[in-house]
Amino acid sequence: MSRVLVTGAASGLGAALTRAFRERGDQVLATDVADGADLHLDVTADDDWTAAREWVDEHWGGLDVLVNNAGVAGGGRIDVAGIDEWQWIVDVNLLGVVRGCRTFTPVFKRQGSGRIVNVASLAGLVHPAGMASYNAVKAGVVALTETLGHELAAYGVTAHVVCPSYFRTHLLSSLRGADEALRAVMTHLVESSPLTADQIASAVLAGIDAGDEVILPDPMARAAYGQKLRDRPAYDAQLRRQAARLHELGGSTAE
Ligand SMILES: NC(=O)c1ccc[n+]([C@@H]2O[C@H](COP(=O)([O-])OP(=O)(O)OC[C@H]3O[C@@H](n4cnc5c(N)ncnc54)[C@H](O)[C@@H]3O)[C@@H](O)[C@H]2O)c1
pLDDT tens-digit series, residues 168-196: 999 988 888 878 888 888 888 889 999 99
Residues 6+ apart with CB under 8 A from 47: none
Tell which wins on pLDDT, 236 or 180: 236
Secondary structure, 3-state, 137-182: HHHHHHHHHHHHHHHHHHHCEEEEEECCCCCECCHHHHCCCCCHHH
Phi, psi of 154 (to 5 degrees): -70, -15
Catalytic choice (134, 166, 225, 235):
134
Confidence (pLDDT) at 18: 98
- Stretch 122-138: mean pLDDT, rounded? 97
Pocket probe for ligand 1: among 5, 6, 7, 13, the residue whose CB has the most ligand atoms within 8 Å is 13
Confidence (pLDDT) at 149: 98
Longest dimension (CA), the chain: 56
196: helix, strand or coil: strand
Dump pLDDT digits (tens) for 190-228. 899 999 999 999 999 999 999 999 999 999 999 999 999
Tell me what the pLDDT averaged over the chain comes to: 95
Tell which wins on pLDDT, 147 or 174: 147
Q: Do the Cβ atoms of 9 and 20 come closer than 8 Å?
A: no
Residue with CA at minimum distance from ligand 1 atom 6? 121
Residue with CA at minimum distance from ligand 1 atom 18? 171
Ranges assigned E (strand) in the chain: 3-6, 27-32, 39-40, 65-68, 114-119, 157-162, 214-215
- E strand or H helix at 17, and its extent? helix 12-23
- CA 25 to ligand 1 centroid distance, Å: 24
Dump pLDDT digits (tens) for 86-118. 999 999 999 999 999 999 999 999 999 999 999
- CA 69 to ligand 1 centroid distance, Å: 6
Confidence (pLDDT) at 176: 85
Residue 251 pLDDT > 80, yes or no?
Answer: no
- Stretch 43-49: mean pLDDT, rounded? 98
Confidence (pLDDT) at 175: 86
Q: Is 134 a catalytic residue?
A: yes
Confidence (pLDDT) at 208: 98
Confidence (pLDDT) at 255: 43
- CA 118 to ligand 1 centroid distance, Å: 12
Residues framing ligand 1 (Cβ under 6 A): 7-8, 10-14, 32-34, 41-44, 69-72, 92, 96, 119, 121, 164, 166-167, 169-171, 174, 190, 197
Q: Could you report how far apart the first and last alpha carbons of the chain are, in Å? A: 56
- CA 255 to ligand 1 centroid distance, Å: 31
Pocket probe for ligand 1: among 5, 6, 11, the residue whose CB has the most ligand atoms within 8 Å is 11
Residue 250 to residues 21, 62, 130, 254: CA-CA distances in angstroms?
44, 52, 12, 11
Residue with CA at minimum distance from ligand 1 atom 8? 121
Confidence (pLDDT) at 253: 52
Of 42-56, 122-136, 190-204, 241-255, which gets the smallest average pLDDT? Answer: 241-255
- For residue 167, give the ligand 1 atom closest to its CA: 3
Residue with CA at minimum distance from ligand 1 atom 1? 167
